[in-house]
Amino acid sequence: MCLRQRQPPKPKEDTRQSNAEKCRQYKENLKKDSEKWKAYLYKNKVQAQQWRGNQTEEQKEHTRELARKRQQKRREKLAQSEATPKKTSTPKKSPTPNRVTRLTQTKLKEKREKDRIRQAKHRAAVKANPQKFRREKEKRKNKRLEKKAVEEEQKRGKVKVPTTVKLSFKCVLNKAKDVLKKHRSKLALAKLALVKKLLNKSDSVLDCSKTYYKRRTDRYSSTVTTYFNKVAVDVPNKKCGQKQKKVLPKRLVDHYIDFKKVHPHTKISFSTFKRRRPNNVLLAGCNKLVQCLCEKCVNVMLLMDGVNSLLKKKPEGEFCSSEIFKITNVDELVAKTVCDNVTRDCMNRCCDGCGVSSFMDVLRKEVSDHLEKICEWKRWEKTDISRKDLVTKSGTLNELLDHLTSDLSLMAKHLKVAHWQRTQYQKLKESLPPNHCILTIDFAENYLCKYQQEVQSAHWSYRQVTVHPCVFLQMSQAVLSPYCDRLQSLFD
């Protein structure tokens, strides 16, 4: 059984439209949605631009000629219509808004009357309320002043912006200034950029190149971060998020001094430098065990500590005036014994302008009264019991200074070599030529072997293992295989 009866087909209306009509209809529909209409206009504009851009010179000339003819025709038509009186048969055009007809006159009169009544009511209300009256007065006064200011500025010819734009611009400027006073936020920068765009010129008030955020993001944020990452030493098998955990080898102050030496033109305060330290780079104090230190450097600093500890015991005001006793690292100490512009002669101790003796003379002068005093100092040395041990030594201050003299004479070259090797390794790592590799090979000694289940007396004799790790660095994967073969042959 059929539930639905079939409807008879409706007679088709004559809805055929011409192309122009269809186009007009389509446009009318589009206009209802403002966004779609805008998109349509924009698309048309772009298309027209493209069409104009693709035209050849000949085609352009042709279109120009056509436009000229069209304009001429229009002008002629206009002249004709003005000369001959209008025919009654021609369809009436809608009255232009400027033309005053009887209808518009009556309408205007009505509107005026309405306005008059409204304003009278408003005035009466304002007069009845003194608060409202005062507010109204102030408003009027402000408006007057604003107008006056705008007129004055226009007279001076400072701002050639139309009034509507200028008011908004003034508002934005004030807002931007307010925000800048309170906190230098990015919002302020954005507003300033907008104002600059409006003005289209750089003003001293609007110069935002010196504000904090701009400088921070553009200039030294990346510089400091890369410096920290470069200087810090990797902590093996430790990660901070996705990044390798690292530890600074020196105090932060010393790193700051080094950074200033490397980047003399970067203006950065110590606090900002401190703040810019990445999360994965730890301070030197975080290292519980500081190992693999250089024996020569440590011994020199131990001697210097010996001198300092002796002098610290004395009542204040006797020695502590000198800068020499504030030296805390080897670089500083060695820098006192070489020229400002270090040459090869300075490092080989052949230079006449510098040397250990001049520095030691100053030091001896400072402590001249106490040269025969007995003092203690420590030193890493080979002993009868072990290969290297921290030995406490005692002697006169004179002896200590002699030791210091002999040790210091070799330090300049030693530090230079270490620094040079380090920088060369860094450079090589950053710019390794193709088909090259870097190998870092060393013995990692004295690894203890322990059994999981062990008899008690076994702890007297542990076996030791030496590992021979090899760090292989190269630029691309493709060239790995030949090196692997060679490495294999090396270990065979």
**Least distance in Å: CB of 349 to Zn ion?**
9
Tell me, what amino acid is at 433?
A: P
Q: Which helix (H) or strand (E) segment is 378 a member of? A: strand 374-381
Q: Which helix (H) or strand (E) segment is 240 a member of? A: strand 233-240
Beta carbon nearer to Zn ion, 195 or 300: 300
Beta carbon nearer to Zn ion, 108 or 362: 362
**Least distance in Å: CB of 343 to Zn ion?**
6
Instruction: Kindly state the DSSP code that residue 2 receives in the 8-state scheme.
Output: -
**Least distance in Å: CB of 354 to Zn ion?**
3
**Least distance in Å: CB of 340 to Zn ion?**
9
Would you state the structure tokens that stand for residue 178, as one six-digit string? Answer: 């307010």
Beta carbon nearer to Zn ion, 310 or 411: 411
Beta carbon nearer to Zn ion, 180 or 355: 355
Beta carbon nearer to Zn ion, 240 or 339: 339
β-pair partners for 465: 447
**Least distance in Å: CB of 192 to Zn ion?**
51
Helix (H, G, I), strand (E, B) or coil at 60: helix
**Least distance in Å: CB of 305 to Zn ion?**
16
β-pair partners for 441: 470
DSSP secondary structure, 66-123, as one string: HHHHHHHHHHHHHHHHHHSPPPSSSPPPPPPTTS--HHHHHHHHHHHHHHHHHHHHHH
Beta carbon nearer to Zn ion, 25 or 348: 348
Would you state the structure tokens that stand for residue 45, as one six-digit string? Answer: 């504009």
Tell me, what amino acid is at 220?
A: Y
Beta carbon nearer to Zn ion, 138 or 361: 361
**Least distance in Å: CB of 293 to Zn ion?**
8
Beta carbon nearer to Zn ion, 152 or 295: 295
What's the rounded Cα separation, in Å, for the pair 303 and 308? 9
**Least distance in Å: CB of 294 to Zn ion?**
3
Beta carbon nearer to Zn ion, 224 or 354: 354
Which spans of this chain sit near Zn ion (rule: CB under 5 A)? Answer: 294, 296-297, 339, 346, 351, 353-354
Give the count of alpha carbons within 13 A of 423, CB side only.
Answer: 7
Check: CB of residue 132 under 8 Å from CB of residue 125.
Answer: yes
C-alpha dist (Å) from residue 363 to 15, 325, 394, 398, 468: 111, 9, 19, 11, 45
What's the rounded Cα separation, in Å, for the pair 174 and 422? 54
**Least distance in Å: CB of 298 to Zn ion?**
8
What's the rounded Cα separation, in Å, for the pair 322 and 216? 38
Q: Which helix (H) or strand (E) segment is 307 a member of? A: helix 295-313
Would you state the structure tokens that stand for residue 148, as one six-digit string? Answer: 């006056």
What's the rounded Cα separation, in Å, for the pair 126 and 134? 9
Other beta carbons less than 10 A from residue 305's beta carbon? 13
Provide the Cα torsion 411, 304, 379, 392; round to 10°: 170
What's the rounded Cα separation, in Å, for the pair 276 and 216? 10
**Least distance in Å: CB of 301 to Zn ion?**
10
